[in-house]
């Protein structure tokens, strides 16, 4: 799978995966976290691709459900703004590894859930939407 080029690659974020509060892992949706404070990105949930270890002989690209924002279910607008990428069908440790995240299709705005159970239901729907997008776009995984 190759990363997007042209207009689809306009939303490209590069960084080193940081430790978060591990809530995604506890909910069954582990994420690779990047700080995005001050970056000109539209908050919301996106379908995208994540390149892991780009520019190395071991680089891989993965389909991902990506959230950008303040995590409104658990924090108010004063919470740290993060990019959280759930790499579909990926297992492994990404802490400290360099990634490039390509935000390709915005699925929905960020919205507050009433709690973890409602959020997990929404995350399942988001992952299903990303899988549908990936199949239609010819992205079959890593």
* CATH code for the domain in which residue 45 is found: 2.40.30.30
pTM of the model: 0.87
> What is the predicted pLDDT for the residue at 7?
41
Number of structural domains in the chain: 1
Q: Which domain range does residue 118 map to?
A: 6-137
Structure tokens at 126: 């988001």
Mark the ranges of the chain whose per-residue pLDDT is less than 70. 1-10, 72-74, 76-78, 141-142
Residue 142 included in any domain:
no
DSSP 80: P
> What is the predicted pLDDT for the residue at 77?
65
State how far the Cα of 84 lies from the Cα of 101, in Å rounded to an integer: 10
State how far the Cα of 101 lies from the Cα of 9, in Å rounded to an integer: 9
> What is the predicted pLDDT for the residue at 33?
94
State how far the Cα of 112 lies from the Cα of 118, in Å rounded to an integer: 10
Residue 1 included in any domain:
no
State how far the Cα of 87 lies from the Cα of 142, in Å rounded to an integer: 9
């Amino acid at each position: 799978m190759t990363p997007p080029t042209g207009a689809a690659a306009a939303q490209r974020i590069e960084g080193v995966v940081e430790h978060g509060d591990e809530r995604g892992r506890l909910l069954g949706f582990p994420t690779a976290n990047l700080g995005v404070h001050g970056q000109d990105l539209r908050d919301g949930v996106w379908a995208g691709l994540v390149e892991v270890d780009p520019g190395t002989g071991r680089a891989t690209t993965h389909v991902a459900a990506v959230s950008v924002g303040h995590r409104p279910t658990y924090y108010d607008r004063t919470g740290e703004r993060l990019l959280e990428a759930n790499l579909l069908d990926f297992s492994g440790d990404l802490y400290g590894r360099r990634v490039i995240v390509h935000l390709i299709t915005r699925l929905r705005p960020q919205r507050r859930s009433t709690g973890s159970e409602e959020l997990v239901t929404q995350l399942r729907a988001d992952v299903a939407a990303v899988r549908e997008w990936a199949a239609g776009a010819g992205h079959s995984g890593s």
